[in-house]
A and B are shown apart, each in its own frame.
Chain A
């Protein structure tokens, strides 16, 4: 099959122009935000000379650093659990057929496409009801449980993509050479899908660190993650401090995403 041939002349020039504009559209606002986080002016969008004081303020604000620490703890827990569950789900779907497979597949796909607000509402009602019955308080546990619920899906999608591109004859070959089922998995399949697992883990971490809507719904009194806290600050009125916090979240998020994309493209360790 041949790909689409390149258009010529004016068409090509205008297409190229549009493409560059799209990238400007994507990245210029990010750049503007970064620039203004260094601006020495109370108004968030007006330049007033260079300063790093907003970042210093962030480091000294115990509420912000506390929320950051909450975010990190939740992200670590949510990532670890969702990676294990998501990888197992991917293996089961890609390598086996079993009863209820289609239902499972659909169930795994839904959290990806459902709007944030809907999922947030679902979990809010669920946890409120469950808290009434079992008597626990909302906070760390409910947030972590909710994050795992949507991270599993994303991890399994990334790992499945990796598994689909892998020849399952390799595993068969290992077993022909008297590797046990576990050995074949541990020494052949696992190293090959490792980039997918790592990529999925980084993605899960990004999603957990970035989530606002669902977290805001399932959190308890006095418990907040960084994005939720920042979101509440924006609604109260902005200060350049928010610019600085935003830039920190943005950079963290972009680095994690870039790493995730990079690891997914790796070849994977040679089984040895």
Chain B
């Protein structure tokens, strides 16, 4: 093996030397376009081959299911709680105009917007402060944001159930400071709290990523030109951090809109939200086409938001 290698090496060296000696025009003729093209074609084939297993997997277990939902949304509900695939119509989309559905959609959108705003208000100063720290501190701060980010979502919501419940720690605290016992659990307040708690890292991470990239001298320059703190923020920092604001807002808004676990644990029986309502259509009410139509709408909102996100030049996460 070694011998053949050296031999090969020798002939390669000779080729290289000859190549170096030949004049560039001639060399161009040697590297024929056909050869180059064949090479590129082979590389492309190899790339596709490596991607293929995951590609096929996602086509079967993601793209096909996605199309299935869209197909079902045009089907008709049958008596057995299934869907009749032979009778196509857009009735399920018409049903979306119902007063009840509109209330649910507006309520969910309202809560999701509220969650997004609260997350933004908390995250901005935090992300800004993080960006001003030394690299070592910054990385440490980042890790301690990432840990809750990936940690069991169900359990993190359940923790608030324990805290906010009757006679729970929060109620005892308010009683202790003289407000009397409170019952926050099973209200919209608890739901927003749970959502903020769950999705706060989604806001912090892209915000931090965009603030961290800002050239600090721009802010200094604005201060040198007699901008006060507010003006420097409003006219320099804020516009420059906008991609992060947009990215974070989308990343918080979308899962809040489709939230199911949080309202189920922390919310009451009143005030159904979109995510829970979709689930009900599938698991209890058995109105598959209608549930499918609502899911499709949720997906379209998500896609629109994602396209907006990429338009704004977002690239974090």
Contact = CB atoms under 8 A, between A and B. Distances in A.
Given A45-B165, A152-B58, A250-B155, A98 B51 contact: yes
Given A45-B168, A257-B151, A261-B143, A118 B258 contact: yes
A212 B154 contact: yes
A254 B146 CA distance: 10
Given A11-B229, A234-B265, A235-B264, A125 B168 contact: no
Given A4-B132, A46-B168, A250-B151, A96 B46 contact: yes
A227 B152 contact: yes
Q: Is the interface of A mostly helix, strand, loop or mixed?
A: helix
A7 B54 CA distance: 48
B209 interface: no
A18 B44 contact: no
B3 interface: no
Interface stretch (A49-57, A59-67, A81-89): A81-89
B57 to A, nearest CB: 6
Contact of A246 (B50, B158, B166): B158
A99 to B, nearest CB: 6
Contact of A254 (B53, B59, B147, B165): B147
A92 interface: yes
B74 interface: no
B214 interface: yes
B51 A129 contact: no
A138 to B, nearest CB: 13
Nearest to B214: A4
A156 B55 CA distance: 12
A242 B48 contact: no
B275 interface: yes
A107 B55 contact: yes
A230 B159 CA distance: 13
Nearest to B277: A117
A120 B288 CA distance: 13
Contacts of A97: 43-44, 47
Interface residues of A, number: 95
B162 A4 contact: no
A92 B146 CA distance: 28
A114 interface: yes
Contact of B302 (A27, A101, A113, A122): A113
A16 B279 CA distance: 42
A250 B162 CA distance: 15
A168 B240 CA distance: 33
Given A91-B50, A152-B58, A253 B163 contact: no
B234 interface: no
Contacts, number: 280
Contacts of B295: 117-118, 121-122
Given A4-B219, A88-B53, A115 B65 contact: no
B44 A115 contact: no
Interface stretch (B25-33, B88-96, B121-129): B121-129
B209 to A, nearest CB: 13
- Which range holds the interface residue count of chain B? 35 or more
Nearest to B215: A1
A2 B217 contact: yes
A246 B10 CA distance: 66
Given A178-B8, A231-B261, A124 B282 contact: yes
A152 B132 contact: no
Contact of A104 (B51, B130, B132, B161): B51
B195 interface: no
B189 interface: no
Given A7-B132, A18-B129, A114-B299, A243 B162 contact: yes
Contacts of A258: 143, 147
B132 A3 contact: yes
B260 A213 contact: yes
B72 interface: yes
A119 B265 CA distance: 20
Contact of B55 (A1, A104, A249, A261): A104
Interface in A183-233: 203, 206-207, 209-210, 212-213, 217, 227, 230-231
8 closest A-B pairs by CB: A96-B47, A115-B258, A45-B168, A92-B51, A126-B65, A98-B47, A122-B65, A89-B54
Given A4-B216, A125-B68, 14 more contacts: A2-B216, A4-B132, A4-B212, A4-B214, A4-B219, A22-B122, A29-B156, A36-B162, A43-B166, A96-B46, A156-B54, A212-B261, A227-B152, A246-B154
28 contacts: A3-B216, A4-B216, A19-B125, A22-B126, A26-B145, A27-B148, A29-B156, A29-B160, A33-B159, A43-B167, A91-B50, A96-B43, A97-B43, A98-B44, A98-B51, A110-B66, A115-B254, A116-B260, A118-B295, A118-B299, A122-B69, A123-B65, A149-B57, A149-B61, A178-B9, A238-B161, A247-B155, A253-B150
